Structure 1
Amino acid sequence: MDLVALATICDLVPLNSINRSFVKQGLNILNYDIKNKGIVTLINQSKINQKISEYHLGFILGPRINAGGRMGESYLGFNLLSCENIHAATQYSSIITSKNQERQKIQNKIINSLTTLIEESDAINFFYDPSWHIGVIGIIAGRLMRGNKKPSFVMTNSNDLIVGSGRSTGGLNIGNLMIEAVEKKIIIKGGGHSKACGFTLEKDSIKEFKNFLFTKFQGFYPEKNNFYEMNLDISVINENLLNDLSLMSPFGQLNPEPVFKSENLKINILNIFKEKHIKCKLFDNLGNSLIGIFFDIDVIKFKEYISKKDTFNCFYKVKRDTYSSNVIAHIEDIH
């Protein structure tokens, strides 16, 4: 059941009905009766020293296990999860962690190279480079989409063809668009769902495919308003609130984690990690404060933005910090 929970979260399976029960029971095993030596060693390698949640499965353990496949060595994940020898599992865990770091370096290099090429006037992000590693194009598309909230399509070579991944915030169903492109013989094959897709096409079809997508998204404006459950005073963000929220977990597809809004907060930057994550202090005019973290953000643009105003409305999820175990905010957006 522990592996079922891991797969359900990482594959974004809807957490309705029986699936939510599967994940809940799998998390119980991971926390109180874990026997899988591969997962044990990966938890230790990841320096997780708190109760395992769906967050750890989806954002810490899952990406590491997938890293082997993304870097062309998919057997590493299988060997790790099926290993019965703790010493061998430790070796596999170390190799997988190294592959994940290699994957991160590749994707960060690509993202940095694209920063100056993004056209703000374009309806979508559309990029192709034959030198890019096939294992990271989906991640790149997701990063671009989160960066400017535009549908993003990223492609590279695979033998004599071009393969690509797309990510979107929703609205137009990009999975259905891929099926339509196949029917119109623009691409060879493709599919997906409203927020993610994959596709394959001939090299001489790139321009036609690009025109097809630009036409579909021309005049389409994704929802700009931030959805949130309720307004919160940051003075009530504490252990009690986190414990109450845990009663609704595990969170995932069709059971989204609540987003909260706090108004008129000041922001001070505390630390910057890996040139893309920002740890900051949020505080109100009564002296209440909260530690918040932005992930995968343009640091320079963020600094410029917060220098123009004194206070901000912040949208965030309440979390337990992976390393300190303190209650913190994972910030989604500010205005």
Structure 2
Amino acid sequence: MRWTLKPKPDPEAVKQLAQELGVENPVASLLIQRGVDTFAKAKKFFRPSLEDLHDPFLMKDMDKAVRRIQEAIEQGENILVFGDYDVDGTTSVALMSSYLETYHPNVATYIPDRYAEGYGVSYMGIDYAVDNDMTLIIALDCGVKAVDKVAYAKEKGVDFIICDHHRPGDSLPDAVAILDPKREDCSYPFDELCGCGVGFKLITALEQTLSIAEGRDFDFNNLIPYLDLVATAIGADIVPIIGENRILAYHGLRVINTAPRAGFKAIIQQVKKETLTITDVVFIIAPRINAAGRMVHGNHAVTLLKEEDWDAACKYAIEIETYNADRKDADKSITVEALAQIQENKEEGRKTSVVFQEDWHKGVIGIVASRLIETYYRPTLVFTKSGDKLAASARSVKGFDVYNALQECAEHIEQFGGHKYAAGLTLKPEQYEAFKAKFEEVVAATCDERLLVPEITIDAQIDLKDITPKFHRILKQFAPFGPRNMSPTFMTKDLVDTGYGKKVGADETHLKITVTQNGKGQRIGGIGFNLGDKFDFITDQKPFMAAYAIDENVWNGEVSLQLRLKDIK
């Protein structure tokens, strides 16, 4: 692993902020690295306020979207809420449809079938709207590139409102309104919202407008119960947890932990977890919501998220738990097969991993791509058969834009979409070999060699004596963590194991240590998952340095601080 130490902030600025806030220098230094360099910014950082959310009408087309929905409500039109089968899509559909139902009875939901329709707006979905006399489709977390499909809907007398956060193509669909902060002509102050976040801005604008129309004051408290959905989408979609996302995630987590909707409560009860962090949302709630769309159909997730009856929610949660267990089995077995394929076809110097087997489960190929990166750290594509086409999930390494790389291979691709680090695509079987060669060529030409070595970004070098309960208490308030606000990683030199270090775990793959610095001072325990092979570094009182996060360890009811080791040298 490559260790990269972030530059130290100006010592005078650190000292001044530490005095203003009444904190130790290491805390002030971490804050300045995150752009929090004044008392006022620190107040906003530690106490994210809903009052600091931007006016939703600053988003391009928001007025048009609100007017068209108002008109649909007044005219008694049938509205279809459409969204993808992933976490961002299903939470968006649950949010928008349940909100609209408080004003309007004629609201239906539609999640495309992962296998029959694939990602994004589908002709089958539009035909469903036409067959059921629906004249307005609100598409969430998709649609900004659906030029042909929106034109098809218009011919059939169906209007579109698009709430998306993906990068638009060269031309925009002919929709009534396109809410997407990544539009070139949109000057909304924050462009990192997820799809559910854009949906939340729309219901905020609607609530403001409908309140005035009904002659009552706008009350933001009416919208707070929806924030558990938004926080889940923010965590699952790996958007930066800064700006509005930090505010929405912070307050959404409070809803999840104090007044969760029945569906979330039923999931949490299954896993017996008390207080959830954003990391728990990502690794506990999100995979279960995702499992429905991966293994059966995304509709199951929307049903669970909208269910208000506790007994019914528990029943759905048990079903989803089964889907999640099936998903784990599938991704485990496919990962083994994919790794074997890479090893068999070992070609020296390859900068990409591209694998294909026609019977792999399409629902888990994205997870498998992420698993392959854990072993072979390079841009990765996992293909399977989907109808008469091949479908793939792409995942990338830190710092390399796989979406741009796919754009360079467009001549071999039927369609693709996604983000910098994750994308999906389909192509004709006869294009597979040519695409594979072109993708390797593009990555080899554009990806810096350094990016193919996993990087640990270290916030600061500290001493063990700096690790106090107060220091850790303040660090916990840096949460919620995520991209652009990661949990701090530290480095300490001259560590010595006290002789208790050992390999642990069924196959001794993990490393457990108790260390001091320079052989004296306070002792602190540490655990390094998958670091068992570094055991020789710590034997015989040899000094070493460690990169780690600070964690709480609970043992027999006692809580102590420990190092969660990321690497040792």
Cα separation, partners in 2 of 1:319 and 1:83, compared to 1, 3 Å? farther
The yes-or-no answer on 1:316 pairing with 2:540 is no
Equivalent residue number for residue 97 of structure 1: 321
**Using a 3 Å threshold, how does the CA distance of structure 1 residues 330 and 309 change in structure 2: closer, same or farther?**
closer
| Contact in 2 for aligned 1:228/1:315 (Cα 8 Å) | yes
Alignment-derived partner of residue 330 in structure 2:
106
Query: Which moved further from structure 2: 238-247 or 94-103?
Result: 238-247
Residue 329 of structure 1: CA displacement? 4.3
Q: Which amino acid aligns with 2:432?
A: I
Is the 8 Å Cα contact of residues 524 and 563 (structure 2) preserved in structure 1? no
C-alpha contact 2:524 2:562 (8 A) present in aligned 1: no
Is the 1:178–1:191 Cα contact (8 Å) retained in structure 2?
no
Distance apart, 1:36 and its partner CA:
0.7
SS in 1 for 2:450: coil
Match of 2:271 in 1: 46
Could you list the per-position Cα deviations for residues 218-270 of structure 1 after superposition, in whole angstroms to 9, with x for gaps in the alignment? Answer: 26413345320012445654643332112222111222222222344655222
Determine what percentage of the aligned residue pairs are the same residue.
26
AA partner of residue 307 (structure 2): C
- 1:71 Cα deviation from its structure 2 partner: 0.8
Alignment match, 1:177: 405
Matched with 1:288 is 523
The alignment's TM-score, normalised by the length of structure 1, stands at: 0.85
SS of the aligned residue for 2:381 comes to strand
Q: Contact (CA 8 Å) 1:235, 1:288: kept in 2 or not?
A: no
- Cα-to-partner distance string for 1:112-154 (whole Å, 9 max, x where unaligned): 2333433364212111111111111111111111223211111
**In 2, Cα distance between the equivalents of 1:90 and 1:203?**
43
1:268 is the counterpart of 2:502? yes
Tell me: CA distance 1:125–1:235, structure 2 relative to 1, closer, same or farther (3 Å): farther
SS of residue paired to 1:218:
helix
- CA 1:303–1:53 in 2, change beyond 3 Å: closer, same or farther? closer
CA distance change for structure 1 residues 177 and 155 in 2, over 3 Å: closer, same or farther?
A: same
Q: Distance in 2 between matches of 1:168 and 1:132?
A: 20
Residue 375 of structure 2 corresponds to 147
Aligned residue identity for 1:260: F
Q: How does 1:156-195 map to 2 (within 5 A)?
A: 156-182=384-410, 185-195=411-421
The aligned amino acid for 2:549 is: K
Cα pair 1:170 1:194 within 8 Å, conserved = no
* TM-superposition CA deviations, 1:75-122 (whole Å, max 9, x none): 221122111121121121122122112111111112223334333642
Q: 2:355 aligns with which of 116, 127, 130?
A: 127
2:365 counterpart residue number = 137
Distance 1:90 1:18 in 2: 32
C-alpha contact 2:372 2:380 (8 A) present in aligned 1: yes
Q: 1:243 aligns with which of 473, 486, 504?
A: 473
Q: Deviation of residue 190 (structure 1)? A: 1.5
Q: Secondary structure at the match of 1:253?
A: coil
Does the 8 A contact of 2:489 with 2:547 survive in 1?
A: yes
Distance 2:402 2:509 in 1: 29
Q: CA RMSD in A?
A: 2.8
Counterparts in 2 of 1:329 and 1:157: CA distance versus 1, 3 Å: farther
Larger radius of gyration: 2
SS in structure 1 of the partner of residue 355 of structure 2:
strand
Larger deviation: 5-14 or 108-117?
A: 108-117
Distance 1:10 1:317, change over 3 A: same
Change (3 A) 1:194 1:161: same
Per-residue displacement from partner, 1:138-190 (whole Å, max 9, x unpaired)? 111111112232111111111111111111123331101112222xx111112
Letter in 1 for 2:287: P
Is the alpha carbon distance of 1:7 and 1:171 closer, same or farther for their aligned partners in structure 2, counting shifts above 3 Å? closer
Return the alpha-carbon distance in structure 1 between the equivalents of residues 496 and 359 of structure 2. 44
How far apart, CA to CA, are the structure 1 residues paired with 2:318 and 2:551?
27
Q: Structure 1: 5+ residue runs without aligned partners? A: none
Indicate the larger mover: 205-214 or 117-126. Answer: 117-126
Contact 1:150/1:222 (<8 A) preserved: no
The answer as to whether partners of 1:166 and 1:196 remain within 8 angstroms in 2 is yes
CA distance in 2, matches of 1:44, 1:326: 26
Give the aligned partner of residue 200 of structure 1: 426
What displacement does 1:193 show? 2.6
Sort the Cα spacing of 1:66 and 1:305 in 2 relative to 1 into closer, same or farther, 3 A.
Answer: same
Gap runs ≥5 in structure 2:
1-226
Quick check: 55-64 or 119-128, which moved more? 119-128
Contact kept? 1:165, 1:197, Cα under 8 Å: yes
SS of alignment partner, residue 131 of structure 1: coil
Taking a change above 3 Å as real, the CA distance of residues 161 and 309 of structure 1, as seen in their structure-2 partners, is: farther
Separation in 1, partners of 2:359, 2:554? 35
| Paired residues of 1:179 and 1:189 also in contact (CA < 8 A) | no
Secondary structure of 1:24 counterpart: helix
SS of 1:12's equivalent?
Answer: coil
Cα distance in structure 1, aligned partners of 2:415 and 2:261 = 38
Candidates 252, 256, 267, aligned match of 1:26 = 252
TM-score (norm 2): 0.52
**Given that residues 511 and 532 in structure 2 are in contact (C-alpha distance below 8 angstroms), is that contact kept between their aligned partners in structure 1?**
no
Which amino acid letter does the alignment assign opposite residue 288 of structure 1? R
Corresponding position of 1:254: 484
Distance 1:238 1:90, change over 3 A: farther
Alpha-carbon distance between aligned partners in 1 of 2:514 and 2:432, rounded to the nearest angstrom: 46
